[in-house]
Amino acid sequence: MFSRAVRPAVRAGSIAVSRTAPPNAANFATLREIEGRLKSIKNIEKITNTMKVIASTRLTRAQKAMEESRSYGQTSNTVFEQAETKPLEDKKTLFVIASSDKGLCGGIHSGLSKATRRMLQQTPNADIVVLGEKAKAQLSRTNPNAIVLSFANVCKDVPTFADAQAIADQISLLPEDYASVKIVYNKFLNAQSYEPATVEAFSEEAITQSPNLSAYETDEETLTNLREYALANSLFWALAEGHACEISVSRFC
């Protein structure tokens, strides 16, 4: 027999044992449920691995196009460097922002917009051409009057020279005779980093006044074609670099 002092404790313990579990209490999974969860995890792993392969293939294609565009763009720049071509000081500058329509993570579009705003502080009378809706939406809030032309549906796939040529043709139709065209784009550094950079395309008049242009055998028609070809080359370079940056960034989001 328990003492009279112990009896209340024993009675309370028996009541606690006899209580049923509340309806919201956690239950152990059955073996079948565990097998189902493991199967789901394996399926997710297969899908993830497939997505990695696809992303790696897309990045390889984008890097190949970028390397090809660099070779063409750097060749054009070498010609102007050796000719000592300089932009004219008495005319306006045109900034071409090589963005896209894709809403990817990171500051891939905002970085271009910030770099453009800094350059506009130094050349406040410059005009802007925007490639892509993302940078256009950002620059429209701060510099709406500077935007003279914009393009949508840019860089849906790997850029081609034909895409760049079509954009260059529209830019050449602008009524203003610009001293130079500075293309602002994301420069591909490695698979995890990039930075805003610029590549310049000069006007026909600036090319004509190059001090060392006489080293090249050119005529008036050739100069016109050279200016248009150099602009398309630079745009192709900028678009391909920016596309490679976007594909690279999307792999780490």
pLDDT string in tens for the chain (253-residue length): 445 554 554 454 444 444 454 555 456 668 788 888 888 888 888 787 776 666 667 777 777 777 777 777 777 777 777 777 777 777 788 999 988 877 655 578 888 889 999 999 988 888 999 998 888 888 998 888 999 999 988 767 788 888 889 999 999 889 888 878 899 998 888 777 888 888 888 777 777 777 777 666 666 667 767 778 888 888 988 888 888 888 877 665 5
First and final CA of the chain: distance in angstroms? 70
Pairing verdict, β 93-98 and 127-131: parallel
The torsion of the CA quartet 91, 100, 74, 128, rounded to 10 degrees, works out to: 0
Give the residue extent of every domain in the chain: 56-250
Domain 56-250: which CATH number of 3.50.50.60, 3.40.1380.10, 3.40.50.720, 3.40.120.10: 3.40.1380.10
